[in-house]
Chain A
Amino acid sequence: MCTLEQRGRVFVLTLTGDGEHRLGHPLIASLRSAVASVAAAAASAGPGTALVTVAEGRFFSNGLDIGWAGTSRPRLQELVDALRPLAADLLALPMPTVAAVTGHASAGGFLLALCHDYRVMRADRGVLYMSEIDIGLPLPPYFVAMFRAKITAANALRDVLLRGRKLRAAEAKEMGIVDAVCPGPAETAAEAIKLAEQLAARKWDGGVYASIRMSIFPEACKSVGIVEESDEEKRKHFASRL
């Protein structure tokens, strides 16, 4: 379902296979396990690592496995609840993160891309799409918190959530949702890895980086259950570093 490799200072997490990479229990569990390995490896690797998440096939991820949930509201809620800690793992990850959006990223898949610090996307095919309004599903609170945190232009947020606008890479870049656009999937992956290498080369202290990420996006972090350090703890950290 997913593989993890290390290329120098960059960890590359790949959603494997040609399918939709639907976020059901098995894939979510695999991703959580992979992300946990990355966090553990980072601790021993020392400062200066980064994560790239990439996918094979036509989809980055087409969202929660609503096929598995069927008409069962409890099942759907289970999946919503299962994805939340994966979002938390990514938002707490002690290194910069880059999503290589190599295919469609819909609903929970779009959320997954937004959980990363940077997004590189292919231009030739694939859209970012919040389908909930079209299929008649409400948005879980942590989804809303993430979108509000990362898409700060009011019209952009309205278009994405309230109009179900399907964004190609170029439009997404104009709207500030995607950072770089590449011709196709191979270039997208390569550019994402290159960006990750540049970020890793800054040799940031991972704990500090994650803490600063929480200062920048506190509501999103709180919504997925991350508890921010107190100012007192931050001051102690600062004092110990002087």
Chain B
Amino acid sequence: MATGDLCTVERRGRVHLITLPGAGEHRLNPALISAIRSAVAAACASPGAGALVMAAEGKFFCNGYDLAWARGDPSGRIAAVRAARRGLVADLLALPMPTVAAVTGHAAAAGCGLALAHDTVVMRASRGFLYMGEVDAGIKIIDYFGELLRQKVPDAATRRDLVMKGEKMTAAEAVRRGIVDLAVDGGVDDVVAAAVTIAEGLAARGWDGEIVAEIRKAAWPELWSKVKDYGCDAPSRPRL
């Protein structure tokens, strides 16, 4: 079920674990977004899969969009990736199973958004930041991304500090401020293990996946409305 070397997929019990491999920054460009979306879609086709974990190897969870790639043809490439960006968020929102982000390293800009697009976020305590670097880099925030931040970081002062101040938040700080659910000591493998444990627990609830998806979309309606036209059609998942 691997989708090439851009991201790998494995099953651990009932958990569909997606990993962005290698020591690189896992910057999002069309190829990686497409690979991730395929891996996410594969969760639905994986018999008995009851929860999804998104993780990464190395120092970075995801360091944002691939600006070097975009520079190749700025206007064209930015427009071309527009649908894929929204589509990835839509696919995660519409996924008929609980989702857990294992933030194993730095999550910056769009990478921070990717983590927040999951239901639960666990993060490595000893290294790595959440960092909305847009303000420092001089990049504006487009509407669906602003919506994601407002829905997932509802506290005004926290959202201001994260996005308007570009504060680099450690796991402990992010937990304290309600952005991250759990800070995990140890290395990448420990963070992944903790995420998988949580995901296994969620899968064990035996929830109807279609209901999970409907309730999630209803819980974040403004965000869903901004991305829903870009998602893949979720395949119907056989109840086991």
Contacts and interface: CB of A to CB of B under 8 A. Distances in A.
Contact of A216 (B74, B136, B150): B150
Contacts of A202: 135-136, 166
Interface in B117-170: 134-136, 138-143, 145-146, 149-150, 154-157, 159-160, 163-166
Given A216-B149, A216-B150, A229-B140, A239 B164 contact: no
A77 interface: no
B135 A209 contact: yes
The 8 A-B residue pairs whose C-beta atoms are closest, nearest first, are: A215-B146, A239-B74, A215-B141, A234-B140, A211-B140, A205-B138, A242-B74, A152-B156
B71 interface: yes
- The size class of the interface chain A forms with chain B is 20 to 34
A59 to B, nearest CB: 25
B240 interface: no
> Which of A204, A238, A239 counts the most chain B CB atoms within 10 A?
A238
B70 interface: yes
18 contacts: A150-B156, A151-B156, A199-B165, A204-B135, A208-B134, A208-B135, A209-B135, A209-B164, A211-B141, A212-B134, A215-B145, A215-B146, A216-B150, A216-B160, A231-B143, A238-B78, A239-B78, A241-B139
A192 to B, nearest CB: 15
B78 A212 contact: no
Contacts of A236: 75
A87 to B, nearest CB: 16
- The size class of the interface chain B forms with chain A is 20 to 34
Nearest to A151: B156
B67 interface: yes
A204 B164 CA distance: 10
Nearest to A176: B157
Contacts of B159: 216
A132 interface: no
Contacts of A213: 164
B149 A241 contact: no
Interface in B63-106: 67, 70-71, 74-75, 78-79, 82
A241 B136 contact: no
B142 A242 contact: no
B163 A212 contact: yes
B186 to A, nearest CB: 32
Contacts of B155: 152-153, 176
Contacts of B149: 215-216
Contacts of B157: 176, 179
B142 A235 contact: yes
A208 B156 contact: no
Contacts of B165: 199
B140 A176 contact: no
A234 B135 contact: no
Contacts of A217: 156
B75 A152 contact: no
B138 A208 contact: yes
Contacts of A96: 164
